[in-house]
Chain A
């Protein structure tokens, strides 16, 4: 299992989406917590500042400015921690004492000081024109903010890593189950109808799915077996009396008192019925797809050359030309006999209905082999082309069973390919394509 494949898997996408929502909710939580903590820290600071300010204001009202200054100095000396409250007194001339900050001007009240240091202050003008300010450094607040940010940043990284790992493990397990089902389905469509999806016997949804699919496959296998049995039954029950009839006719032929020509034409009629019969049974056999199980590697080039050699003299005898244009060395997975029959049908059609020249070519483009049989005869009108490939549909001049092209289509489809009828300007171009599988 390659890594890119797992990233393309549906489960991984689900895991990713889930991870995204999870990360967003964690982020929202972080933002909420961040603002909540900041607000409450700031509220604390404001309360502290207000209380202190009121105490000092009380001092001032009771004992005057000197007492205020003394008390303030005492407080600064008593508490020298960096986290202590900040104090300032500004004279009416604008001079600032204690914790030096830039002079302030009205309106007073709550202010954020940013120049020099970052702090929150409360200012108020005293009755003598002096301004008293109490503040708190915001560094502590910023440290708390940063701590929260860090916790959530690292938290997000860990969440993402664990989520991705979880997604990977989850999708690998699910992919393994889906892969097993895909492999089985592929094997079945290749003709191995007895394949079944392996079950884990855990009783979970996947096991249920596997069980249900297996039941369906049992049913399909039974139906295919029934079809085969019915065809075999038809073959046996109808061919045997026909065989007897043919035998009787052959015996009658030895009798000199009977007209030999009539008996011969009766034998020919029986043979024609049997031929249609054989073609129908072959068609049914092809459509079950079970023949795929016997596929081997077929060298198409050799096969095409042999067929052209086999049919060349027939073309010449009827004054036509059979030309092998281009034959690339191509091997496909297939059944040699069926491919021979396919080409035989195409060549016979072209020689019977086509013009003076029949061209055969075998080309390779990418991973597809193109087998073309083209004639320069009257061709088939575009609207009739899809009709002639159906069973028992034939051109007006055809004397065949009407199953020739239907057989060709069935054989091509069994090999995973396509058949296309096109205009050869003039004439008919039959193009069969076959996928080439790497061995």
Chain B
């Protein structure tokens, strides 16, 4: 992946660049909004990582300028402001995702990967598959190795979210936002509890486990390596 990071805080930038380097990605870095805008217009990036408060040109204006010029490179906004208003305006400016500082690197990385793999025009899938697990979105039916699995509505949504991101790491926060539409941090382990229920139905009676825990990051549904 080729990434552009526009971030004025040196320590945060180093932390992100270092993390991405360890994952084998090259990252271009701009320390202010104007440089960032020029680099974004020149280079072809897979994902833009934009801080919201930047010297010379703030992240939202930068992104709006790009979007006005028909540049639809997926972008994730980083912000120290976590208010509801800020998130709404952030997404309104054309960002695909919005992450409040501070964040775990794994959280940012999972979101970057998810954005990078997002197909430009999403074709409408009616059947999602991984290994011998199959989800029919029209019949609302899940089978594994030909056996029907009964799922509660929430479990169905959870599995659908995992399947739509098959092979990718999805974090706890991504699941809270995507499955439950929660934009706050509940005290209880909602995600863990529901994942464990889902595992009980999808993986327990089968020789291989599809839902995998990625330590320190989240979960992933994939055929076991």
Docked pose: A335 CA to B154 CA in angstroms: 22
| B18 and A250 within 8 A (CB) | no
- The closest CB in chain A to the CB of B186 belongs to A344
| A278 and B80 within 8 A (CB) | no
Q: Is B184 an interface residue (CB 8 A)?
A: yes
Min CB–CB distance B192 → chain A (angstroms): 9
Q: Is B205 an interface residue (CB 8 A)?
A: no
- The closest CB in chain B to the CB of A239 belongs to B80
A242 — which chain B residues lie within 8 A by C-beta?
A: 102
- The closest CB in chain A to the CB of B52 belongs to A236
Other-chain residue from A275, A294, A317, A338 in contact with B185 (beta carbon distance below 8 A):
A275
Min CB–CB distance B137 → chain A (angstroms): 20
Other-chain residue from A231, A244, A275, A313 in contact with B11 (beta carbon distance below 8 A):
A244
B25 — which chain A residues lie within 8 A by C-beta?
A: none
- The closest CB in chain B to the CB of A282 belongs to B83
Flag the segment in A55-63, A142-150, A304-312 that touches B: A304-312
| B15 and A247 within 8 A (CB) | yes
| A309 and B102 within 8 A (CB) | no
A208-257: which residues lie under 8 A (CB-CB) from chain B? Answer: 231-232, 235-236, 239-240, 242-248, 250-251, 253
B177-225: which residues lie under 8 A (CB-CB) from chain A? Answer: 180-190, 193-194, 197, 216
| B85 and A235 within 8 A (CB) | no
Docked pose: A275 CA to B103 CA in angstroms: 12
Main secondary structure of the interface of A (DSSP, over half): helix
Min CB–CB distance A431 → chain B (angstroms): 22
Query: Known contacts being A236-B81, A240-B12, A313-B194, is A348 close to B186, with CB within 8 Å?
Result: yes
Interface residues of B (CB under 8 A from A): 9, 11-12, 15, 18, 53, 80-85, 88, 100-105, 152-154, 180-190, 193-194, 197, 216
Q: Give me 13 other A-B pairs in contact (C-beta within 8 A), A235-B81, A248-B15, A281-B82 excluded.
A: A232-B81, A235-B80, A236-B81, A250-B15, A253-B216, A274-B102, A282-B82, A294-B84, A310-B194, A337-B84, A337-B184, A340-B180, A340-B184
Q: List 29 interface pairs A-B (beta carbons < 8 Å), by A numbering.
A: A235-B81, A236-B53, A236-B80, A240-B80, A240-B101, A243-B12, A243-B80, A243-B101, A243-B102, A244-B9, A244-B102, A247-B11, A250-B15, A250-B104, A250-B105, A253-B216, A274-B102, A282-B82, A282-B83, A285-B84, A290-B85, A306-B154, A306-B180, A310-B180, A314-B190, A337-B184, A340-B181, A340-B184, A344-B182
